Amino acid sequence: MSGAQRLDWISQPVASLHGNVVVPGDKSVSHRSMMLSAIAEGTSHIRGFLEGEDTRATAAVLAQLGVSIEAPSAGERIVRGVGLRGLRGSSQPLDCGNAGTGMRLLTGLLAGQAFDSTLIGDESLSKRPMRRITDPLAKMGAQIDSQDGLPPLHVRGGRSLHGIRYELPVASAQVKSALLLAGLYAEGSTEVIEPHPTRDYTESMLAAFGWPITFSPGYAKLEGGHRLRATDVVVPADFSSSAFFLVAASIVPGSVLRLPAVGLNPRRTGLLEALRLMGADIRIENRGESGGEAVGDLIVHHAPLHGIELPEALVPDMIDEFPALFIAAAVAKGRTIVRGAAELRVKESDRIATMAAGMRALGVSIEETPDGAIIDGGAIGGGAVDSHGDHRIAMSFAAAGLVAQGAITIRDCANVATSFPGFVELANGCGFALSTAR
């Protein structure tokens, strides 16, 4: 799906950034709203759906399994749910593209079906570890075959699932969500305990769709045997997509940006706290609620940043935002130390190694550690970096180019469409100097 055509970017220094930046809908909420709408009873209306390759891949898989999904307009989906037992098997593989969230959550959802399924992905997704979900699902009675822990995943149907009490060895919202989705089909209770709280989108949305569930930070429990009722969902703007603009406006002198109606789930906004600890000037206005999620307008002014020792308690709440944080640290005065983030090594790329290689190529002082990095702030030089097809790496270096001493060429950026379609146009609209070269 993605990466078929090579796409490089060139990011150049600018004077300042200004304007309103309306970022696309939250990817995590879009995935989950589509899945729960598909297995609910009745018709759900989703607004603000992310028109990215990842979320479209999830929708295409569900359509392949017999769910009627209409798209009256961009960002809008009407999903005619088939109920908990209404999905139909497909003789063809289910292509998740680059969507790790889609594959992991769908594996949990499919573990309790009566039919066999095969989940495949692109080259990047095919290298991402899946034992973290297949092992606990096996404890529930699922049978899932893999390629030594990697996709494709063959999910065997007709298995009787039973609830378990599972303590996650590493905090992961995706693993937790996969187990809870399998728990819908299991006999008895499914209980998940995390070492650190992660985002609770799945728990909140299950409750919104009428499934009895008990949850608190780091804990979730549900019983099998209930039903999901269709409901309408308004997807908030994606905080992870906002991250690049929060960092960009913080580091470019004279900048002021407003990002309206951004999702502010406290299990997602660790970067906001981290940037504030570094001295960033970010305010929240117009707080409210959208689709059961806290939202607000983020107003960010340029401010001089300083290095910090990042509190490890923030790590699970900002795991997708570390590439952007690394750029902020590269510009900040002094040293920034990141620990407890080994999860970064098994994302779309090894994000610690990929960011470190790129930053060194631009003259930034960075030392890799097994679970993080030590970054000494200073000037960012011009040059060329390779994103290794990782969308968040590409967008982070686009922000770096705004304050670099020369242009930065960013290679292999096609996968940005997986999470942030229209990024170049939106970025240039508020003052970026970003061009493409094929």
Domain boundary among 234, 251, 269: 234
Put the strands of the sheet holding 76-82 in their side by side order.
Answer: 68-70, 76-82, 41-47, 233-234
CA dihedral (102, 348, 245, 386) in degrees, to 10, reads: -150
| Residue 354 host element (H or E) | helix 351-361
365 and 221 in a common domain: no
Residues of the chain with confidence (pLDDT) below 50: 1-4
Distance (Å, rounded) from C-alpha 350 to C-alpha 342?
Answer: 9
In this structure, are strands 41-47 and 76-82 parallel, antiparallel, or unpaired? antiparallel
203 and 155 in a common domain: yes
| Residue 75 host element (H or E) | none
Domain boundary among 234, 256, 282: 234
Q: Cα separations (Å) of 132 from 167, 178, 405?
A: 12, 10, 42
Give residue for tokens 């992905």: 121
290 and 221 in a common domain: no
Cβ–Cβ under 8 Å, residues 316 and 270 = yes
251 and 107 in a common domain: no
Which pLDDT score is estimated for 124? Answer: 86
Catalytic residue among 238, 320, 390, 412: 320
**Contacts for 125 with CB less than 8 Å, ≥ 6 apart:** 96, 97, 98, 99, 100, 103, 151
242 and 226 in a common domain: no
81 and 21 in a common domain: no
Distance (Å, rounded) from C-alpha 152 to C-alpha 410?
Answer: 30
CA proximity to 105, closest of 169, 71, 54: 54
SS3 395: helix
Structural domain boundaries enclosing 220: 27-234
Number of domains the chain contains: 2
Burial of 399 (0-12, 13-18, 19+ CB in 10 A): buried
DSSP string, 209-263: TT--EEEETTEEEEESS---B---EEPPBPHHHHHHHHHHHHHSTT-EEEEEEEE
How many other C-beta atoms are found inside a 10 Å radius of the C-beta of residue 227? 13
Annotation marks residue 320 as catalytic: yes
Tokens, residue 10? 């060139």
Please indicate, yes or no, if residue 3 is contained in any of the structural domains. no
114 and 20 in a common domain: no
157 and 301 in a common domain: no
Give residue for tokens 């959208």: 290
Say which CATH number the domain at 336 has: 3.65.10.10
202 and 324 in a common domain: no
CA angle 190, 191, 194 (to 5 degrees): 140
pLDDT tens digits, one per residue of 304-332:
999 999 999 999 889 899 999 999 999 99
Which pLDDT score is estimated for 63? Answer: 98
**pTM score, two decimals?**
0.84
pLDDT tens digits, one per residue of 358-408:
999 999 999 999 999 999 999 999 999 999 999 999 999 999 999 999 999
SS3 337: strand
Put the strands of the sheet holding 189-193 in their side by side order.
Answer: 165-167, 189-193, 219-223, 213-216
250 and 189 in a common domain: no
